[in-house]
């Protein structure tokens, strides 16, 4: 009745929009395998948000099948209302809406239009007969756009076995096999950006391409759209500028509007908007609490819509473009936004109240770090003084004696600009104790940053703190004296540094006498000894810089005795480490090895990778002094890798210099 298949496969595929397929190689390989004769799957789903590349993927596969004459015919039908072309959103001249439109396309491509003259039921039967005589690839693009998608799904399950059907849609639907498209990997996204720029004749350096990627993310449609804007006259600065949340554009409308429209006014929409205020992947309990949503079904629905993705660690992530759109939705609901922000703030206040920065090697804090920064920025923008102070104190709490990550924590908090804001607000409120507290932390941070003029600026901040001495507590006095001693040492004013230490030791001596009576609390006596250990270590470090090893050893050994008695692990660690340096210089390698072994044990007991790295570097110097350069290189390489993993730039540079010297000279440092 229908005759033999044509010698050349018929198709009605739209033209490919890119000259080269980049990204999704694994998914393309999987899809081509599924379309092969040997694979039993006949209904294949592809899902992902708008612009993610669903249509591009199936068209790439379909054209490869056509070139290999794998099918007798390839039929493409789509309910997509609009197409994103360059930087414009164009309405399609013809879109399919019903199952009858699919029948019409099948009959037209297979060149049997007379089928359409019969009534619907007879059309269905003849379409089945027609397809049963041919190997056919049927593509149904944008299934959710059809008015009768359930009826179409029923039709797919009644197709003859000669037909392979591929269906694209934005949300998940179960088929024989379903392929999920997430954003491109960073490597593929950057490759697509570079290819598009080259193809369009636009010169953008590698650094700016990286910024483009960070702004756009890995959605292929977004990449093509933004680069088309460059072609159309937009500048790179325009594209990198912060999103104007008051306006939308063709890109966000194309990717999200149709999916989000039915959600407005529902708990799913509230969950989507709440997720947007988290800059990094979030815990499900945090998101549900902030959104005031109790059911997890809403999370699953956002996953099906590809607006949230569950990460391997269980957290939920949102693509940058999705977040931009959801933030605009949130801004258009100001009352809900205010409620969400308040619950967001309450969640993270509770987080800092229940998580000590020293716990678990800072992992929990580091995971939540960028979100915490956004919470505090929001508080600062609304002059929430007490909330900012609460977070600041959390990061600066005194954890002497159990701090395994104190120096790593400093690398997180040193770049922050909260100090100046808090000092200004405290002075305006005449809250002098807070002003002093923050000033004392500001000075040492400037020293650690090691930037030009920072020493002078640090001295000025600490001088400002000194001027507030009427508000001092004992801890303030000793902290200030140690910081000022360190500043004087950095300025190579060692006499001035030792003068500050002497003043501190005199205060301790006088206060110790007043606390000798039985009524004095053990806590006060403990604190005085703790302050004395810190002062002695600082004094020993100053003598070490003066190359006065005997005076340095005396101070460090006394500091060590106190630290071991009071179980002050941080002071014990650094006292032993500096004593090991002196032992190496004096040629007492056995003593140095013993001290460094103790240091390494302390670091490992605390699972402290930072101090472990310091130990490895020190042991490398010991092995170099023993004329074992190969062992020294192995140890310093381990230390370098750990500093790199920790993001400790200053220590990384110092260790790299040491490694270079050992490799090039093999001589004792």
pLDDT digits (tens, 9 = 90+) for 189-200: 999 999 989 888
Mean pLDDT of 623-651: 86
CB neighbours of residue 564 within 10 Å? 16
Helix, strand, or coil here: 586?
coil
Per-residue pLDDT averaged across 259-263, rounded? 83
- Same domain? For 110 and 163 the reply is yes
Of the listed ranges 276-290, 499-513, 590-604, 624-638, the one predicted with least confidence: 499-513
**Could you tell me the residue range of the domain that residue 22 belongs to?**
10-180
Q: Judge whether residue 257 has pLDDT over 80.
A: no
Distance (Å) of CA 591 to CA 142, 577, 585, 618, 639: 74, 11, 11, 13, 22
- pLDDT tier at 402 (50, 70, 90 boundaries)? very low
- Residue 334 to residue 345: CA distance in whole angstroms: 16
| Same structural domain, 558 and 662 | yes
Is the domain of 235 the same as that of 353?
no
Residues facing residue 607 across a β-bridge? none
Q: What is the mean pLDDT of residues 278-290?
A: 94
Sign of the alpha-carbon dihedral angle for 491, 496, 498, 500? negative
Amino acid 245: pLDDT: 47
Higher-confidence residue: 20 or 92? 20
- With 70 as the cut, is the pLDDT of residue 123 above it? yes
Helix (H) or strand (E) holding 11, with range, is strand 10-11
- Pair (175, 108) in one structural domain: yes
Both 369 and 492 in one domain: the answer is no
- Asked if pLDDT for residue 550 goes beyond 60, the answer is yes
CA angle 415, 351, 357 (to 5 degrees): 50
Say which residue, 555 or 570, is predicted with more confidence.
555
Query: Which DSSP string corresponds to 117-160?
Result: GS-HHHHHHHHHHHHHTS-EEEEEE-GGGSTTHHHHHHHHTTS-
Which two tokens mark 196? 């598009």
The helix-helix angle for 320-331 and 334-354 (nearest 10°) equals 120
Q: Provide the pLDDT for residue 36.
A: 93
Supply the CATH number for residue 532's domain.
Answer: 1.25.40.10
Q: What is the rounded CA–CA span in Å between residue 264 and residue 21?
A: 36
The residues, ordered by sequence, that sit 6+ positions from 610 with a Cβ below 8 Å of its Cβ are 404, 405, 407, 408, 603, 642, 646, 648
The mean pLDDT of 435-464, rounded to a whole number, is 55
> The tokens of 20 are what?
């080269």
Axis-axis angle for helices 474-490, 432-449 (nearest 10):
30
**Region label for 89, one of left (φ > 0), alpha (ψ between -120 and 50) or beta (otherwise):** beta
Distance of CA 116 to the CA centre of its chain: 56
Chosen domain end from 415, 431, 454: 415
Q: Domain boundary at 241, 267, 282, which?
A: 241
pLDDT number for residue 254: 67
Taking the C-alpha atoms of residue 293 and residue 268, their distance in angstroms, rounded to an integer, is 9
Q: What is the pLDDT of residue 141?
A: 93
Q: What's the pLDDT score for residue 400?
A: 44
Instruction: Tell me 282's DSSP state.
Output: B
Q: Quote the pLDDT of residue 443.
A: 47
**Nearby residues of 206 by Cβ (< 8 Å), 6 or more positions away:** none
Q: Are 101 and 139 in contact (CB under 8 A)?
A: no
pLDDT at 451 over 60: no
Alpha-carbon distance values, 417 to 344, 382, 410 (Å): 22, 16, 13
Confidence band of 232 (pLDDT split at 50, 70, 90): confident
Asked if residue 403 is part of any domain, the answer here is yes
Same domain as 393, residue 535: no
Which position has the higher pLDDT, 426 or 360?
426
* More reliable by pLDDT, 432 or 603: 603
Question: What does the alpha-carbon distance between residue 420 and residue 641 come to, in Å, rounded to a whole number?
Answer: 34
Whole-angstrom distance, CA of residue 669 vs CA of residue 656: 14
Res. 127: pLDDT tops 80 = yes
State yes or no: pLDDT of 610 exceeds 50: yes
Q: Which residues contact 495 (CB under 8 A, 6 or more apart)?
A: none
**Same domain assignment for residues 649 and 555:** yes
Q: How confident is the model at residue 481 (pLDDT cuts 50, 70, 90)?
A: confident
**DSSP class of 163:** E
Q: Give the residue from 222, 241, 260 where a domain finishes.
A: 241
Which of 154-163, 256-265, 266-275, 329-338 is predicted with the least confidence, judged by mean pLDDT? 256-265
Neighbouring residues of 221: CB distance < 8 A, sequence distance ≥ 6:
50, 51, 52, 53, 84, 251, 254, 255
* Structure confidence at residue 224 (pLDDT): 84
Q: If pLDDT is split at 50, 70 and 90, which confidence band does 359 have?
A: very low
Closest listed residue to residue 41, CA positions, set 149, 172, 143, 157: 157
Of 20-24, 179-183, 366-370, 643-647, which range is least confident?
Answer: 643-647
**Distances 604 to 193, 265, 655 between C-alpha atoms, Å:** 45, 53, 20
Assess whether pLDDT exceeds 50 at residue 345: yes
Annotate 302-319 with three-state secondary structure: HHHCCCCEECCCCCEECC
Q: Which of 118-122, 213-217, 428-432 has the lowest mean pLDDT?
A: 428-432
Buried b or exposed e, range 267-290, using 16+ CB within 10 angstroms: bbbbbbbbbbbbeebbbeebbbbb
Q: Are residues 203 and 342 in the same domain?
A: no
- The top-scoring range by mean pLDDT among 180-189, 295-304, 431-440, 458-467 is 180-189
DSSP 264-278: TTSHHHHHHHHHTT-
Mean of the pLDDT values across residues 129-139? 93
Residue 270 inside a domain? The answer is no
Give the pair of three-digit tokens for residue 140: 């149904």
Answer whether 66's CB lies under 8 Å from 270's CB: no
Residues 156 and 23 in one domain: yes
* Within-domain flag for 170: yes
Backbone angles phi, psi at 217, to 5 degrees: 85, -160
Q: Is residue 435 a part of any domain in this protein? A: no
Tell me, yes or no, whether 497 lies in a domain. Answer: yes
Percent of the chain topping pLDDT 90: 36
In a domain, 449, yes or no: no
Among 280-289, 462-471, 625-634, the minimum mean pLDDT is found in 462-471
Tally the domains of the chain.
4
Q: Compute the average pLDDT of residues 274-284.
A: 93
Residue 510 resides in a domain: yes
Whether residue 365 contacts residue 357, with contact meaning beta carbons closer than 8 Å, is answered with: yes
Q: Are residues 590 and 561 in the same domain?
A: yes
Lowest-confidence pick of 428-442, 517-531, 547-561, 648-662: 517-531
Q: Rounded to whole angstroms, how far apart are CA atoms 575 and 555?
A: 9
The whole-number pLDDT of residue 530 equals 85
What is residue 388's predicted lDDT score, i.e. its pLDDT?
Answer: 93
Q: Are 359 and 397 in contact (CB under 8 A)?
A: no
Lowest-confidence segment of 361-365, 382-386, 566-570 by average pLDDT:
361-365
* Residues 46, 131 within the same domain: yes
In this structure, is the dihedral angle defined by the CA atoms of residues 153, 154, 155 and 156, taken in order, positive or negative?
A: positive
Query: Do 410 and 545 reside in the same domain of the chain?
Result: no
Residue 131: give its domain's CATH number: 3.40.50.300
589, 574, 514: which is closest to 544 by C-alpha? 574
Nearest to 438 by CA among 375, 480, 470, 478: 480
Kindly report which listed range (124-138, 319-333, 409-423, 533-547) carries the lowest average pLDDT score.
409-423
pTM listed for this prediction:
0.61
Which residue, among 502, 594, 506, 586, has the nearest Cα to 544 in the 3D structure? 586
Q: What is the pLDDT of residue 94?
A: 73
* Degrees, nearest 5: CA angle 71-75-78: 150
């Amino acid at each position: 009745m229908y005759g033999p298949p044509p010698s050349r496969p018929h198709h009605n595929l739209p033209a490919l929009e890119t000259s080269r397929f980049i990204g999704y190689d694994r998914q393309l390989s999987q899809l081509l395998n599924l379309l092969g004769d040997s694979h039993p799957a006949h209904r294949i789903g592809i899902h992902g948000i708008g612009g993610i590349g669903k249509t591009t993927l199936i068209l790439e596969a379909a054209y490869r099948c056509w070139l290999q004459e794998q099918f007798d015919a390839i039929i493409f039908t789509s309910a997509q209302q609009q197409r994103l072309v360059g930087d414009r959103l164009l309405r399609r001249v013809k879109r399919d809406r019903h199952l009858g439109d699919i029948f019409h396309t099948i009959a037209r491509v297979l060149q049997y239009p007379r089928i359409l003259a019969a009534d619907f039921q007879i059309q269905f039967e003849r379409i089945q007969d027609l397809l049963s005589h041919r190997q056919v690839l049927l593509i149904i693009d944008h299934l959710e756009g059809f008015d009768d998608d359930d009826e179409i799904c029923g039709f797919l399950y009644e197709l003859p076995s000669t037909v392979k059907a591929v269906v694209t849609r934005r949300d998940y639907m179960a088929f024989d096999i379903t392929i999920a498209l997430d954003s491109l990997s960073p490597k593929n996204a950057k490759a697509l950006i570079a290819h598009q720029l080259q193809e369009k004749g636009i010169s953008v350096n590698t650094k700016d391409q990286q910024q483009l990627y960070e702004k756009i993310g890995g959605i292929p449609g977004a990449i093509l759209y933004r680069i088309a804007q460059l072609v159309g006259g937009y500048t790179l600065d325009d594209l990198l500028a912060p999103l104007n949340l008051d306006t939308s554009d063709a890109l966000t409308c194309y990717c999200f509007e149709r999916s989000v429209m039915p959600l407005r006014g529902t708990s799913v929409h509230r969950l989507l908007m709440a997720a947007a205020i988290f800059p990094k992947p979030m815990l499900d309990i945090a998101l549900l609490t902030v959104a005031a949503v109790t059911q997890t079904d809403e999370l699953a629905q956002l996953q099906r819509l590809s607006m949230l993705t569950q990460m391997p660690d269980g957290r939920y992530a949102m693509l940058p473009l999705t977040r931009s759109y959801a933030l605009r939705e949130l801004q258009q609901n100001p009352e809900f936004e205010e409620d969400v922000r308040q619950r967001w703030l309450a969640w993270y206040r509770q987080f800092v109240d229940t998580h000590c920065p020293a716990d678990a090697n800072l992992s929990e804090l580091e995971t939540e770090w960028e979100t915490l920064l956004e919470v505090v920025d929001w508080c600062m923008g609304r002059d929430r003084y007490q909330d900012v102070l609460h977070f600041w104190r959390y990061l600066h709490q005194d954890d002497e004696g159990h701090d395994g990550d104190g120096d790593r924590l400093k690398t997180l908090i040193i770049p922050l600009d909260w100090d100046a804001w808090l000092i200004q607000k405290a002075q305006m409120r005449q809250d002098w104790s807070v002003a002093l507290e923050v000033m004392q932390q500001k000075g040492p941070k400037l020293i650690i940053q090691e930037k030009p003029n920072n020493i002078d600026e640090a001295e000025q901040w600490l001088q400002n703190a000194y001027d507030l001495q009427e508000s001092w507590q004992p801890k303030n006095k000793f902290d200030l004296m140690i910081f000022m001693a360190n500043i004087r040492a950095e300025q190579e004013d060692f006499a001035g540094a030792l003068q500050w230490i002497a003043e501190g030791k005199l205060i301790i001596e006088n206060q110790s006498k007043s606390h000798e009576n039985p009524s004095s609390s053990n806590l006060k006596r403990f604190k005085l000894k703790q302050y004395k250990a810190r002062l002695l270590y600082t004094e020993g470090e100053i003598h070490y810089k003066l190359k006065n090893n005997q005076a340095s050893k005396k101070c460090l050994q006394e500091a060590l005795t106190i630290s071991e008695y009071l179980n002050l692990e941080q002071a014990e660690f650094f006292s032993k480490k500096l004593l090991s340096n002196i032992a190496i210089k004096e040629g007492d390698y056995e003593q140095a090895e013993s001290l460094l072994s103790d240091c390494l044990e302390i670091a490992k007991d605390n699972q402290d990778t930072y101090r472990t790295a310091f130990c490895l570097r020190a042991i490398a110097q010991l092995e170099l002094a023993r004329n074992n350069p190969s062992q020294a290189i192995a140890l310093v390489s381990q230390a370098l890798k750990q500093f790199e993993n920790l993001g400790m730039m200053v220590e990384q540079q110092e260790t790299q210099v040491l490694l270079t010297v050992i490799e090039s000279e093999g001589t004792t440092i």
